[in-house]
Amino acid sequence: MTIVDTSRQPAAEMSFFTRFIKQVRKVPFSVGFGIAWLAAMVFVAFFADLIRPYGITAMDLRARLSLPGNPAHLLGTDELGRDVLSRLLQSIRVSLAIAFGATIISAVVGTTLGFLAAKFRGAVEHFVLVLADFQAALPFLIMSLAVLAFFGSSMPLLIGLMGFYGWERYARIARGLAISASAQGYAAAVVQLGATPTRVYMKHILPNVASTLIVSMTLTFPEIILMESGLSFLGLGVQPPETSLGNMVGFGREYLTRAPWIMLAPAFVIMMTTLSISLVGDWLRDKLDPTLR
Amino acid sequence: MLRFVSTRILRALITILAVLTFAFVVLRMSGDPAQVMLGPDVPQESVDAFRKAWGLDQPLWIQYLAYIKAIFTGDFGVSMRDKASAMQLVIERIPATLQLTIPALFLKVVIGIPAGVYAALHRQSAVDRGVILAAIFGFTIPSFVMGLLLVLIFSITLGLLPSGGQDTWQHGILPTLTMSIGGIGILARFSRSAMIEVMGQPYIRTASAKGMPWQDVVWRHALPNAAVPIVTIVGFMVGSLIAGAVVVESIFSWPGIGRLLVVSVTNRDLAVVQCILLMIAATMVVSNLIVDLLYGWLDPRLRAQSAH
């Protein structure tokens, strides 16, 4: 029979737990709230199909424009008797999916162009910088409005178009950081060891500049949500029967006098989501960005 | 200095040309205006005649060259719908848009900058917290939500102000407020952070240490140095004087450029859309150019850098 000392393990767990609690306590309330809200939004985005009480096009014609707060329709219904809560959950999913997809496209394109500029310098660099200037001077909302109206709106086009938004910022940041990183010892060392440029940039430089890029993503993400909802509000973004947050506000506007809840629910979600991302993003920037310390 | 100015002007011209080209190619590629203008049930001969009359049967690059050539002679095309000069249609709408955007810009500058500077000089005070909060709301509430909330409060609930149209000066209040509230917050936030950064500089400490009155430190040393980032944001706001009103005009049925753009885009009125895009791009580029030139005047160090 052997005696197993089990007393150490719970102690270690405790200390890990208390350390975790200490870390959590250091997070300001507003940031904690932002994280909780975003977690809830991500949960909704993944499980919208399972948690929504009705289909998004299911009409309850006897309960049209019913007030929020009744047991059958917690957030009320719209002019066709469709459940506002169910449509809201689906809208969160659609709007977040578009913003997420677009942010990823914009970050990948921008970072790649920035790295190319840093690697090749000369003409390539000038070309990237001129493109970035052009992108910054482009009235983006107006341009996308024209493109969507002329091509007809569809989900891939919308995501692709939003993905063009803000790439120039990643490109500028990635270029600047990569130039200064390649002057440092570690990058020169792996180059000396015979690593291919792809390996140097992906495995060594990218991880070192990632935190700044992630912070820029927290800046473009809410802007893309606002732009998508603006376009959908004007009727040029997400098309019915599919629904998004801006689309709901746009249609709810017609019933502003009789049923303001149709518009208030998605408007509230847009505000809270962009607010949460800004709060968390600001906090992350202070934590991650070494240049601000 | 001359070289600095001329390269900036050249870059501005290239940007405008790029916007024009991009708009031209995208709009021509994206479908046939003949079908939208004439409707679905017209005989093929009318479609062909329409295309021939507007030069749409030519190859794209010939159309493009003709378009650029016409622009240099001051001809911006004719509206397919009204048969009137496209530029004329656009210019007629500009005053209505400026009626909203100029007062909004005025409010942003007159409230935003002083609030930000005050907040920076009185950190952790009630005003400071208020500015931070207002700035966050300014960033996060989209203009269409803000506009509808204002309509809900002031037109529907309180019945104080009209919710749409352009008949009296009262009609302008809600759209102007909608446009300025967010901008006030953004400008206040930038002014605050610019001012805080400057106040931490050694030369401010030196000026205070040598016994300079606090007022003079702020007015003569801090403010001029905080001006560069603030001017950048104000320049950006001036640049969007025409573009910034699209959503707000459509909420409040205000007959400005934004409404014209939305209508022309739906009608596929190519010449008018291109004219509006040109106007918007030109305003943005010109105000960026002015900001660039102002930098040199505000901060002599930047002038020296660009000379090399």
pLDDT at position A103 over 70: yes
The answer for residues whose C-beta is within 8 angstroms of residue B262's C-beta and 6 or more apart is A145, A234, B246, B250
| Minimum distance, in Å, between the CA of residue A110 and any CA atom of chain B | 19
pLDDT at position B18 over 50: yes
* Interchain CB contact of A129 with B (< 8 Å): no
**Mutating which of A138, A144, A161, A254 best tests the B interface, going by the most B Cβ atoms within 10 A?**
A138
Nearest CB partner across the interface for B268, out of A138, A150, A257: A150
B178, B9, B186, B33: which is closest to B100 by C-alpha? B178
At A40 the three-state DSSP class reads: helix
User: Domain ranges in chain A?
Assistant: 31-50+73-292
Q: Residue range B217-229: average pLDDT? A: 83
Under the banding of pLDDT at 50, 70 and 90, the label for residue B243 is confident
Positive or negative: CA dihedral A84, A149, A95, A134: negative
User: Which amino acid, one-letter code, is at B178?
Assistant: T
* Interchain CB contact of A191 with B (< 8 Å): no
Among A215-219, B37-41, B86-90, top mean pLDDT goes to: B86-90
pLDDT of residue B297: 76
* The token pair that represents A144 in the structure block: 């996308």
pLDDT of residue B35: 67
| Minimum distance, in Å, between the CA of residue B30 and any CA atom of chain A | 5
pLDDT of residue B106: 92
Q: How many beta-carbon pairs under 8 angstroms link A with B?
A: 108
* The token pair that represents B193 in the structure block: 């952070």
Q: How far is CA A121 from CA A132, A164, A181, A187, B14, in A?
A: 15, 23, 14, 17, 21
d(CA A204, CA A191) in angstroms, rounded, equals 10
Under the banding of pLDDT at 50, 70 and 90, the label for residue B110 is very high
* Interchain CB contact of A30 with B (< 8 Å): no
CB contact under 8 A, B26 and A133: no
d(CA A237, CA A231) in angstroms, rounded, equals 5
Q: Residue range A135-158: average pLDDT? A: 78
Under the banding of pLDDT at 50, 70 and 90, the label for residue A289 is low
pLDDT of residue A252: 81
Positive or negative: CA dihedral B235, B236, B240, B245: negative
* Interchain CB contact of A275 with B (< 8 Å): yes
* The token pair that represents B220 in the structure block: 């003569």
pLDDT in tens, A161-209: 888 888 888 888 888 888 877 777 777 788 888 778 788 888 778 877 7
At A77 the three-state DSSP class reads: strand
| Minimum distance, in Å, between the CA of residue B213 and any CA atom of chain A | 30
| Minimum distance, in Å, between the CA of residue B156 and any CA atom of chain A | 7
Q: Find out whether B148 and B224 touch, Cβ atoms under 8 Å.
A: no
pLDDT at position B303 over 70: no
Under the banding of pLDDT at 50, 70 and 90, the label for residue B308 is very low
Average pLDDT, chain A: 79
| Minimum distance, in Å, between the CA of residue B146 and any CA atom of chain A | 9
The 8-class DSSP code of residue B269 comes to -
At A258 the three-state DSSP class reads: coil
pLDDT of residue A293: 43
The answer for residues whose C-beta is within 8 angstroms of residue A33's C-beta and 6 or more apart is A276, A279
CB contact under 8 A, B142 and A226: yes
Which domains, from first to last, does chain B contain? Answer: 93-269+286-299 (1.10.3720.10)
Reading phi first (left if > 0) and then psi (alpha if -120 to 50, else beta), residue B168 is in beta
Q: Which residue has the tokens 């939500």?
A: B145
Q: Is the pTM of this model over 0.80?
A: no
* Interchain CB contact of A142 with B (< 8 Å): yes
How far is residue A72 CA from its own chain's centroid?
32
pLDDT of residue A63: 67
How far is residue B237 CA from its own chain's centroid?
6
Q: Which residue has the tokens 């005050």?
A: B118
| Start-end of H helices in chain A | 8-26, 29-51, 84-120, 122-137, 140-151, 155-163, 167-182, 185-192, 197-199, 206-233, 245-252, 261-288
Among A150-154, A253-257, B201-205, B244-248, top mean pLDDT goes to: B201-205
CB contact under 8 A, A137 and B268: no
Nearest CB partner across the interface for A146, out of B144, B149, B273: B273
CB contact under 8 A, A279 and B136: yes
By 3-state DSSP, what share of chain B in percent is helix, strand and coil, each rounded to 5?
Answer: 80, 0, 20
Q: Which CATH superfamily is domain A31-50+73-292 in?
A: MetI-like (1.10.3720.10)
User: Which amino acid, one-letter code, is at B114?
Assistant: P
User: Which amino acid, one-letter code, is at B123?
Assistant: R
pLDDT of residue A227: 85
Under the banding of pLDDT at 50, 70 and 90, the label for residue B107 is very high
d(CA A53, CA A166) in angstroms, rounded, equals 37
Average pLDDT, chain B: 80
